[in-house]
Homo-oligomer: A and B are copies of this chain.
Amino acid sequence: MMFNRETEYALRALVHIQLQNYDDRRPGGKEIAQETGAPYYYTAKILQRLVRQGLLCSLKGKGGGFYFDKGKPDLMIRDLILAIEGEKKITGCVFGLTKCDEKHPCPFHDQYAPIREAMARLVSGESIQSVAKKYFLNTVNGSPDKVK
């Protein structure tokens, strides 16, 4: 609920794709939707948008599916959120002021600013790849967790 459904579906789908990619497989939309507990057609639409935006790759036909270009740098969570929800999601003021800063603070500013910064650090410091690796370690020698 921090992010909207589309972002949640995208996060789960991309982590699954990366995890499969590490194993030299390209999952298709059907598998991804199933594994992430998201509606198939909607998942497909979301991933197609990401492909068009150049954040993800895909291959048609038999043996096709979604994958990350190994030549490209890791996909930062921040860039994903920017692509789906826009910048205000990360930088916006809780009170809805278009201009909220030290000089013109909203009544929540002092307390919310560090939270917003922590969130910004999180999404700027982590990528689908770094997060997928964590998830992998977690599910392998820990809780046998499935999504949803």
Pair A122/B148 contact, Cβ less than 8 Å:
no
Q: How far is the CA of A115 from the CA of B3 in the complex (A)?
A: 14
User: B118, A122: Cβ atoms under 8 Å?
Assistant: no
Q: Is A140 an interface residue (CB 8 A)?
A: no
> Pick the contact of A95 from B8, B106, B119 — CB < 8 Å?
B8
Q: Which of A21-29, A45-53, A54-62, A130-138 contacts B (4 or more CB under 8 A)?
A: A130-138
**How many residues of chain A get a CB closer than 8 Å to chain B's CBs?**
43
Tell whether, in the assembled complex, residue A107 and residue B131 are in contact, meaning their CB atoms are under 8 Å apart: yes
- Asked if B98 and A148 make an inter-chain contact with CB atoms under 8 angstroms apart, the answer reads yes
Give complex CA distance A55, B148 in Å: 34
Q: Is the CB of B112 within 8 A of A115?
A: no
Interface readout for A83-99 with B: 1 if CB under 8 Å, 0 if not? 00110110010111110
Decide yes or no whether A105 CB sits under 8 A from chain B.
yes
Report the Cα distance A15→B1, complex, angstroms.
Answer: 25
A interface residue numbers (CB < 8 A to B) = 1-3, 5, 8-9, 11-12, 15, 85-86, 88-89, 92, 94-98, 103-108, 111-112, 114-116, 118-119, 122, 126, 131-132, 134-135, 138, 143, 145, 147-148
